[in-house]
Amino acid sequence: MQKILYYTVYGLLYAFSLLPLRLLYLFGDGIYFLIFHVVHYRRRVVWKNLTESFPEKKEQGLRRIEKGFYHWFCDYLVESIKLFSISEEEIKRRMVFKETELVDECVSSGQSCAIYLGHYCNWEWVTSLPFWISPKAQCGQIYHPLENACMDKMFLAIRQRFNAVCIPMADSIRRVMGYRQKGIPTVIGYISDQKPFWFNIHHWCDFLHHDTPVLSGTERIARKLDQAVFYLEVSRTRRGYYEAEFKLITREPKQYAENEITDKYFQMLEHSICEHPECWLWTHDRWKRTREEFNDRFYVKNGKVFEYDVPLSKRK
């Protein structure tokens, strides 16, 4: 049954993706009207995030960002569908990578690269990176498998169309080390602005006026395997067109203090968001987990997070 569902949905989305983007954007405009004006999809979460992240902005400015976000979000949806059939020529015209020679220099010397990204602009189109860098490197991205097997298989299909591999988060270090043992340099993208699970919280930083629990696994992998670390600064030049520029953070991650690279990434991401705040994914309840609740329910021992049997606040 799952196989029938997969091929049915895949076939429908593939057929839909054959439409020119200008027509897909008309469909996206319809989705915008539905989710913004009718369904009010996550508008409370979006508004809460915006007001807390930009306390200096007036309501009029925040409303403009809010509407711009929902327009961009609907564009992102139809652009992701376009990945089912978009040609190499078109994706290279619409997603342009800059400063790739910095990555090729690392690859030529045998050094692998860790690429920091955010849920900003169109991260799905970043999977076209293999068209832009040395074929000596294995490109890939770390991802969190979806609970729905059909949807997970579908996302894997479009994300791996251009020969970039998808590596499950739980298997990341083993897979990356496997390529290293084979002598294959890797260029792996890490979308590291996600909300970590409680037991994965090892560091907090100031991000968009919030005390924010952050994922630090990217830095740990880069330090362990001595990888070059980049931030991919993506910008939308106009509707349906993006530029992604590689910003070198370091080729010697072990020279940095613990969590310093992670903090640098969030500083760079915050700068990108402040430039075009409508292009970040505001629908996620990013700051749901607070330091107060963490300290109340959990403790850290030998670098691992454990949960109290009874929260401190409930003890007599």
Strands 228-238 and 241-250: antiparallel
pTM of the full structure:
0.95
Q: Which residues does residue 229 pair with via DSSP β-bridges, in sequence order?
A: 114, 250
In angstroms, the CA 21 to CA 2 distance is: 30
The model's pLDDT over 280-292, given as tens digits with 9 standing for 90+, comes to 999 999 999 999 9
Question: In this predicted structure, what is the pLDDT of residue 6?
Answer: 86
pLDDT band at 122 (very low <50, low <70, confident <90, very high): very high
3-state secondary structure (DSSP) of residue 220: helix
Average pLDDT of the chain is 96
| Structure tokens belonging to residue 80 | 């992701």
Model pLDDT for residues 226-253, shown as the tens digit of each residue = 999 999 999 999 999 999 999 999 999 9
pLDDT at position 3 is 81
For residue 4, pLDDT beyond 90:
no
Q: Tokens standing for 185?
A: 């340099």
- pLDDT tier, 151 (very low <50, low <70, confident <90, very high otherwise): confident
**What pLDDT shows up at residue 195?**
94
Instruction: For residue range 37-47, list pLDDT tens digits in order.
Output: 999 999 999 99
Query: Is the pLDDT score of 186 beyond 80?
Result: yes
Per-residue model confidence (pLDDT) at position 97: 99
What share of the chain in percent tops pLDDT 70? 100
Residue 315: per-residue pLDDT: 84
| Total residues found in the chain within this entry | 316
Q: SS3 of 163, please?
A: coil
Q: Given this model, what pLDDT does residue 316 score?
A: 67
Q: Give the pLDDT confidence score for residue 24 in this predicted structure.
A: 98
- Total H helices, total E strands in the chain: 11, 11
pLDDT-above-90 percentage for the chain = 91
User: Is residue 100's pLDDT more than 80?
Assistant: yes
Residue 158 and residue 79 in contact, taking contact as beta carbons nearer than 8 Å = no
The domain limits of the chain are 91-296
Q: What is the mean pLDDT of residues 137-155?
A: 89
Tell me the C-alpha distance between 134 and 17, whole Å. 29
What would the DSSP string read from start to end of 204-219? Answer: EEEETTEEEEE--HHH
